[in-house]
Chain A
Amino acid sequence: MEWLELKPEGLFCAPGAFYIDPLQPVAHAVITHGHSDHARPGHDLVTATPETLAIMRLRMGEDRAGQSQQALGYGDVISIGEVRLWLAPAGHVLGSAQVVMEYRGQRAVVSGDYKRALDPTCEPFEVVPCDLFVTEATFGLPVFRLPDPAHEIAKLLHDVCLFPERTHVVGCYALGKCQRLIALLRDGGYHEPLWLHGALLPMCNLYESFGIPLGDLRSATAAEKGEMRGGIVLAPPSAIADRWARRLPDPVVCLASGWMHVRQRAKAHGVELPVVISDHADWDALLETCQATGAKEIWVTHGREDALIYALGKMQIRGRALRLLGYEEEDEQAEQGASA
């Protein structure tokens, strides 16, 4: 598909003269979602869902989130030159979108990051049939068949019951993972106050302003130590095993990440309770999705593309590795944060 090019700045749609999730400031950027490796500051025009634009303003400030912003609801079609463009839900975080482009009878879909598993805090992934599907491959190995998130939440809640004198501190990424964890905890029947590290609160407020109820959230930083005993505290991965966590009474260090699925990785980070919850598609979901789009060609932006491309080849689907180095998915950052 010649009209979609890989440039040093990122994926470029030539007939529409815009980039998707560019790594450097550009004149026109279409942004899939608000994670910092996809939504970068300093573009002239930014097209994204209203949620993603709000997230960008919160994270980088009004002035750096694009000189002008074009809000596009899911399914609203616009034309940029000869290109017809719309956004479809990606199921990754609030506002996350796949970018659907049509040009001269061909359709390409850039998925950004996505998942197929349950997430009460965002619109579920929508399969859009296409000729070219651009996918991630964060968990592109068949060992990543991730468990049901409800099961992981039950495991965490059971542990909270079993050790009422200890405080469970769960490391989670500030955008998406945190709110999903909260919503899953609520769905799992946990309605106690949740104690939040200061870095997590603004994004939770933003989610609530978009009509996603998260229940009773309180600041862990302002709390008396004794108040949090027996409770659940959420904090960025970098804080759970560091000086910040010393304020917590007898903490049990937990980390919510897809990487926790592999024992060595969980052990290496001194995590006491791995919570295997990911906002990325697992192996089965990657293959199912690639197949469901009916695309003859799949491009892989980042992750473990070798195994995925190999497996697609066995299904007569042509795969190509883009190796976009700027996308280090947030789970990987979370992990590094926990070890630093």
Chain B
Amino acid sequence: MIEFATLLERLAFTPSRNMKLALLKEYFSMAPDPDRGYALAAMAGSLSFAAAKPAMLRALAMERIDPELFTWSYDYVGDLAETVALIWRRETPDQDTPAAPGLAEVVHTLERLPKTDVPDVVREWLDACDASSRYALLKLITGSLRVGASARLAKTALAELASVAADDIEEVWHGLEAPYGPLFAWIEGKGPKPDAKDAPVFRPPMLAQPLENVDLTAFNPGEWRAEWKWDGIRVQLVSTPQGERVYTRTAEDIGKAFPDVLATMQDLGSRVVLDGELLVVQGGIVAPFAELQQRLNRKSPTASMLRDMPAGIRLYDILFEDGEDLRSLPFDIRRQRLESWFSRLNPPRMALSELIAFQNFDDLAKLRENARSEGIEGLMLKKADSPYVPGRPRGPWWKWKREPLTVDAIVMYAQRGHGKRSSFYSDYTFGLWRTVDGERELVPIGKAYSGFTDEELKFLDKWVRDHTTKRFGPVREVAHGLVLEIAFDAAQYSKRHKSGVALRFPRVARIRRDKPVEDADTLEAFIRAFL
């Protein structure tokens, strides 16, 4: 428990991906089996308990501490598990500390422990643990453990330990279960590569390169296929004899959040692996990304969400059909297989991603710019003979995003960044003019923390420091004196912001030192232009 608790604590505080990787690698190579397997399960989100309720924690704490003191402490700390972890004191502090339980011991014990015995066992464990292990333990048994590392990162760490690609781990991953003995054995060269067989495993997806600095005139239009690039999230639908899955392109299993999609696949009963875009589709119309976001934010959707925000899939590709691996076939052939599969089964909730007819790339460029409808980000160009290659090969597939929209806004607040940027004011809240009762005022419409060069960041940081009017902790309010050209992909109405609007992917396109703040855009003009 101690090693796991130490890892948790360190992961919680470091923002750096490389540091997290190093910490994970250290942990996985030092921690014993099966503890490390359960730690991995915790990161993958497949270790969930509800063995203890907050009321039980509170009751245990009260055995050792005055209620009044507990309340003061809880008010101060703000988190029940942390309060109990910090406040806990062994009844007989002078005696030798019993050994803290291992992670696996905790998991195994709770699996078969009658509910009535839980408090006694937990009390013993708390006595045996130090404060940071108590915290990890309490978070674990109340089902509120958050690990500051994604499953993907954990798998990347394992892959680096084994000197294989992270995708190799993904290929075997979903056929395995905690505590992942065969996986660790394989990684350490003590066992064979686990066999996925009929398990609904994830297949690493093929990704496109952005179309930048590429000479389109050198391309022969006849060799290329064009599709809309949908603004949803890329998913892989997997259906095998052992079950169905919905994966994101980083191998996250999001099936629980999309039972509507899972149910459709179950009904079809067809053994396929499909590549597509997950969207919210209302009466055949793709909804704004914000609606999909709401579905993504929930571990499992409510009945009204399922009704009002039904999921839909735009199908791009087919990777497997009835056990046959189609990935080495050319795009055109796979497309035929996809179309014939589609017309045979006519699956509900799904639609084929339309192939766009075009004579030349100029036509296509016009189409791209005019396609401002909801849910389209731009175009995809795919070479007609391209096989489905995992990763992001340069050449066969291109994403051709439409030009971003822009608005000239005024910096209002700045906040320190994280990690390497913690000494810079690198997050900027910007706003537009609005007139209320004849008075002009600024109203914030969004936040940007990217898009600038290192030089520009230095300038912005200095500008913020020189023009600070107020400070609130890590946030500075600044004088209204600097215009930023903000690029964004789409605008939406939003109840969350005072201005009533929100931007998708806002970033700093240019610093407009030349532009007087009076000439920055107004909210009215913004709404007229983009909403």
Contacts and interface: CB of A to CB of B under 8 A. Distances in A.
Interface string A1-24: 000000000000000000000000
Interface of A: 141-145, 147, 155, 159, 162-163, 166, 241-243, 245-246, 250, 252-253, 261-264, 266-268, 270-274, 304, 306-307, 310-311, 314, 339-340
Contacts of B79: 263-264
B13 A147 contact: no
Of A142, A162, A272, most B-chain CB atoms within 10 Å? A142
Given A141-B72, A270-B418, A263 B82 contact: yes
* 7 residue pairs, one from A and one from B, having the closest CB atoms: A143-B86, A143-B73, A241-B422, A270-B422, A307-B72, A272-B14, A142-B87
Contacts of A314: 66
B245 to A, nearest CB: 34
Contacts of B83: 143
Contacts of B16: 272
Contacts of A145: 86-87, 89, 131
B15 A143 contact: no
By size class, the interface of chain B is 35 or more
B77 interface: yes
Contact of B473 (A241, A250, A268): A268
Contacts of A141: 69, 72-73, 76
B23 interface: yes
A116 to B, nearest CB: 15
Nearest to A274: B13
A161 to B, nearest CB: 10
Contacts of B87: 142-143, 145
Contacts of A143: 73, 76-77, 83, 86-87
A245 B131 contact: no
B477 to A, nearest CB: 14
A145 B73 CA distance: 12
Interface of B: 6, 10, 12-16, 19, 22-23, 26, 65-66, 68-70, 72-73, 76-79, 82-83, 86-87, 89, 130-131, 416, 418-420, 422-423, 471, 473-474
A241 B423 contact: yes
Given A162-B26, A267-B13, 10 more contacts: A141-B69, A147-B130, A159-B10, A241-B423, A252-B19, A272-B16, A273-B14, A307-B72, A310-B69, A340-B471
A264 B474 contact: no
B423 A273 contact: no
A262 B9 CA distance: 12
A290 B433 CA distance: 60
Nearest to A264: B78
Nearest to A339: B473
Contacts of A261: 86
A261 to B, nearest CB: 7
Contacts of B13: 266-267, 271-274
Interface of B: prevailing SS = helix
8 contacts: A145-B89, A159-B10, A162-B22, A253-B422, A263-B79, A267-B13, A270-B418, A310-B68
Contacts of A147: 130-131
Contact of A262 (B15, B26, B86, B422): B86
B143 to A, nearest CB: 19
Contacts of A242: 423
Contact of A163 (B19, B418, B473): B19
A288 to B, nearest CB: 12
B70 to A, nearest CB: 8
B443 to A, nearest CB: 27
Contacts of B23: 162
Of B13, B14, B471, most A-chain CB atoms within 10 Å? B13
B12 A262 contact: no
A131 B386 CA distance: 89
Contacts of B19: 163, 166, 252, 272
Contacts of A243: 423
B401 to A, nearest CB: 33
B428 to A, nearest CB: 17
Contacts of B6: 155
A311 B66 contact: yes
A340 to B, nearest CB: 7
B72 A306 contact: yes
A310 B455 CA distance: 56
Contacts of A272: 13-16, 19, 419
B21 to A, nearest CB: 11
Contacts of A339: 473-474
A244 to B, nearest CB: 8
A295 B12 CA distance: 43
B69 A311 contact: yes
Given A143-B77, A253-B422, A264-B77, A270 B416 contact: yes
A243 B420 CA distance: 12
Contacts of A163: 19, 22
A159 B474 CA distance: 26
Contacts of B12: 263, 267
A195 to B, nearest CB: 17
A270 B15 CA distance: 9
Contacts of B65: 142
A31 to B, nearest CB: 31
B22 A142 contact: no
A263 B78 CA distance: 10
A243 B457 CA distance: 13
A264 B471 CA distance: 20
A307 B71 CA distance: 10
Nearest to B15: A272
A145 B6 CA distance: 18
A245 B423 contact: yes
A270 B12 CA distance: 11
A262 B423 contact: no
A241 B66 CA distance: 39
Nearest to B73: A143
Nearest to A148: B130
A320 B474 CA distance: 36
Contacts of B86: 142-145, 261-262
Given A241-B422, A246-B423, A142 B77 contact: no
Contacts of B473: 268, 339
A138 to B, nearest CB: 13
A253 B16 CA distance: 12
B512 to A, nearest CB: 25
Contacts of A270: 416, 418, 422, 474
A143 B76 CA distance: 9
Contacts of A340: 471
A284 to B, nearest CB: 8
A163 B25 CA distance: 12
Contacts of A252: 14, 19
B250 to A, nearest CB: 25
A60 B321 CA distance: 81
A243 B418 CA distance: 14
